[in-house]
Amino acid sequence: MIVMTIDQRRSRQGEDKVEALINQANNTVTHVRPFQRTAGDEVQAVFDDSMEAIHLAVMMAASGDWSVGLGYGEVELPLPKETRAGRGPAFVFAREAVERAKNTNAHLAVAGPTEEASRLEAELQLTACIVSKRRATAWEAGTLADQGLTQQQIATRLGITQQAVSSRLSAALWFEANRMMEEATKSLSKQLRKLGE
């Protein structure tokens, strides 16, 4: 299982964004146990889908508003209905990871029972740093690319040239960052399968 712990950054200097995160995340991602406030400005959820967990972790960290800890490993079963009542190594790893994430430029850390955790962390930290530097125009083009539109179709939709679309996607390292997340997903899924054997 994958446990994600997210802590709001600079929460004492601004509004509490936790409830908005809980509502949005629980309505848009597939989870085993939903996001729930655990204490103060911190939330936690349980996943079994590596892709969902990795994509969300990178996006949350890249926003600059959150420190994200991904922990993977075993959990005590059956899981309780309340996310915050969960126990097991994956919960401990998530706690360890979120504390380390607070002291990184990427605001993201990964912990688990295998050596793969260190490589996954490095990949996802780099990806989060890349994503954090994207401009709104890159998001506009990249979101359409992710929906399967060609660069020419995107150009027509946005009223710009195909060359401008290509430039936006290239500057944002859109496809490279997506590939990094895909490879990280494969790696984490493999680790979870091994742990389940």
> Does residue 105 sit in the same domain as residue 158?
no
Q: Do 8 and 92 belong to one domain?
A: yes
Backbone angles phi, psi at 63, to 5 degrees: -65, -25
Return the residue matching tokens 């944002």.
172
Q: What is the CA radius of gyration of the chain?
A: 17
CATH code at position 61: 3.30.70.270
Residue 93: its pLDDT value, please? 97
CA–CA separation, 24 and 13 (whole Å): 22
For residue 193, tell me if it sits in a domain. no
Residues 66, 151 within the same domain? no
Name, in order, each residue with C-beta under 8 angstroms of 22's C-beta and a sequence gap of 6 or more. Answer: 34, 35, 36, 37, 43
Same domain, 71 and 164: no
Domain contains 145 = yes
Residue 184 lies in a domain: no
Q: Tell me, what's the pLDDT at 183?
A: 96
Domain span holding position 74? 2-115
Q: How does pLDDT run along the chain (197 residues), one tens digit per residue?
A: 999 999 998 766 667 788 888 998 888 999 999 999 988 889 999 999 999 999 999 999 999 999 999 999 999 999 999 999 999 999 999 999 999 999 999 999 999 999 999 999 999 999 999 999 999 999 999 999 999 999 999 999 999 999 999 999 999 999 999 999 999 999 999 999 988 86
What is the residue whose two structure tokens read 């399968």? 193
84 and 24 share a domain? yes
